[in-house]
Amino acid sequence: MGRARAHGDLRGRLLLPLLPEGGLPGDRSGRRTLVVNGALALAAAYLVGALPVGFLVARVFGVGDIRRHGSGNIGTTNVLRAAGWVPALLTLIGDVAKGYLAVAAAGALAGDAGARAGDRPRRLAQPRPLGGGPRDSGVARGRGDDALCVARLDPGRRLRAARRAAPGLRRAGDAGRPRGRGDHHRAAPRQHRPPPRRDRAPPGPGAQRRVTLAIVGGGSWGTALAIHLARQGGAVRLWAREVEVVEGIRARRRSPWYLADLDVPAGVTPTTELAEAVHGASLLIVAVPSEFFATTLESLPPVPEGVPIVTATKGFDPVRHLRMSEVIAAWRPGARIAALSGPTFAREVALGHPTAAVVASRDETLAGALQRQLGAREFRLYASQDVVGVEAGGALKNVMAIATGLSDGLALGENARAALITRGLAEMTRLAVALGASAATLAGLAGLGDLVLTCTGGLSRNRQLGMALARGETTAAVERESRMIAEGTRTVTSALALAKRHAVAMPICEEVGAVLFAGKPPADAVASLLERPLRREDR
C-alpha cells in the first residue's frame, strides 16, 4: 500500500503542471483532448528546439556549412568566429527566441493553465491537499482555495502558495523554532537536491586544442600570413622545413632568416613536423615555393574531406607547367580549393600596413567565407571565381619584374620601365585568356596591381634579381645570399612552354629566358626588344 501510494503521489507531482485546473477531466472527450494537446505540445517543443539557427544563418551569409569552420559547432561563438558579429547576433537572438517559443508552444497547447490561474482561478469544491492526505487540506484555509489552485498548477509555486496561505508552515532550517499547534499534521516542504556532479574526465596525454589554421611554408610570405592571422586572434600552426627557423620562433618569437626583425605572436606555433601542423586544422594554406609545391603535398598526412586548401604560391609547376590549384586538384580530387594572390609584400602585411588582395575559388560560397575569415580591416580581400586569372596574373608578373629590374639596372630610365610594365601586362593577358581567364581579372589586383607593385617596389625579389643580373651577378649567388627564391626564374620556363602550346607571342618573356638560361647579356636583350617590327598596340 505504501509503495502504491508513493507511486501515485509521484505521478501526481509529475503530471500536475499539465492538467487543467479542475484536475483530470472526468469525461472521455476531455481526457482525449488533454492527451492530444500534450502530444502536440511535446512535438512543437521538439521541432522548435531542433531548429539549427546558427547553421541557417551561416548559410544565408555565405559561410556554407558552419560545422566545417572553427570549433565545428553551430553556436553563437563559432558563427562570430567564421562569419562576423552580425550573423552571430542573429544567431543569439534566434537561439533565445527558440527557447522562448518552445516553452510558449508547450504552455499554449497544454491548456495555458498558468495564464488562466494568474487571471482568475476557479474555486474547487474539494481541493486536493498538498501533502497527499485529507489532514493537510487545512494549510490553505487561511486564504481560501484560490491559493491552493495556483499551487497545483505549477510545482514551483506549490510551496510558495502554501507558505503564503499558512505562515506557520515549518521551513528548512526552522528546527529551533517551537512547534505550533498542529505542526505534526503538516507535510514538510520538499528540499531541492542538486543532481550528483559528474566530473568530466581529464584529457588524455595526447589531447590538444583544436587548431584553426595551418600554414605550410615558413618563408617570408608564410611567416607574414601567420603573423597577420594570429593578430586577428586565430590559432596558427606554421610548418617550416628549417630547424633554425622553428627554434628561433620558439625561443625568441622571431625567425632568424625571414622577417627577422619582426616579432611572431604567441598564437603562432612553429613546427618541423607536417603531421603536427596539419592535425585538427580547419583550413590549410600552402605557401611553399612552386618547385617544392607538389612534393610538399605528397608529404602531407591525410587531410580531412571538406577542409579548404588555399594556395598562396605564385608560380607554375616547373615540370608539368600546372597552376598550383591544378596541382592540388591532381593530388586530391574533389578538394575545396582557393587561391590567394595580389599586390602583397610580405613585410608590409606582417606590419599591418593597408593591403588589398584577391581570394579566388570556383566555389563562390567558399570564396566568400575565406574573404571574411582571412581578411581584416588592413588586409582587404576581394572575392573572385576566376581562379585561372588570379593565379596566372600572380605568376607571370614575376617574369616582368625581372625585365624591369634589368632595365633599372642598366639605368634606362622611367620611360623604359613604364613601357615594359604596359607591354608586359599585354603579354600576361594574352596568355591568361588563352588558359581560360577573364581579361578583366588581369586588369585587377591579381594582374595589374601585383605587376605595378613588383615592377616598382624596392622589396621585390624579382626586380632585385634583374638589377643584380644587370650588374653581372648570377642568379645562384643572389638567391644564396638572400636565402629567398625569385619565382620569376622558375615561372619563365613554364610561361614559354604554355605560350608555345597556345601559340601566344611573349617577346619579353623570351628575352628574360635568354638572359637567365642562355647567357645573353641584358643590354642585348633590351636591344632585341627595341628592334622588333612595329605593330598595332591592340595586337
DSSP bridge pairs for 338? 310
| 314: annotated active-site residue | no
**Dist. CA 495–CA 488, nearest whole Å:** 10
Contact 405, 454 (CB under 8 A): no
CA 211 to chain centre: 11
Please name the residues in contact with 292: beta carbons below 8 A apart, sequence gap of 6 or more: none
Contact 325, 311 (CB under 8 A): yes
Q: Which of 314, 397, 500, 520 is catalytic?
A: 397
Please name the residues in contact with 114: beta carbons below 8 A apart, sequence gap of 6 or more: 107, 153, 154
Joined together, the cell numbers standing for residue 269 give 606555433
- The b/e string for 202-211 (b: 16+ C-beta within 10 A; e otherwise) is eeeeeeeeeb
Q: At what angle do helices 387-409 and 522-530 cross, to 10 degrees?
A: 110
**Dist. CA 265–CA 250, nearest whole Å:** 10
**Dist. CA 332–CA 439, nearest whole Å:** 29
| Helix residue spans in 410-521 (DSSP H) | 414-435, 439-442, 450-456, 461-470, 475-482, 488-501, 507-517
**Dist. CA 282–CA 268, nearest whole Å:** 15
Element (H, E) at 239: strand 236-239
Give the pairing type, strands 337-341 and 355-360.
antiparallel
> Which phi and psi (to 5°) does residue 269 adopt?
-110, 110
DSSP bridge pairs for 364? none
Give the CA-trace dihedral at 415, 419, 420, 425, to 10 degrees: 140
> Which phi and psi (to 5°) does residue 222 adopt?
-60, -40
Report the catalytic residues.
Answer: 397
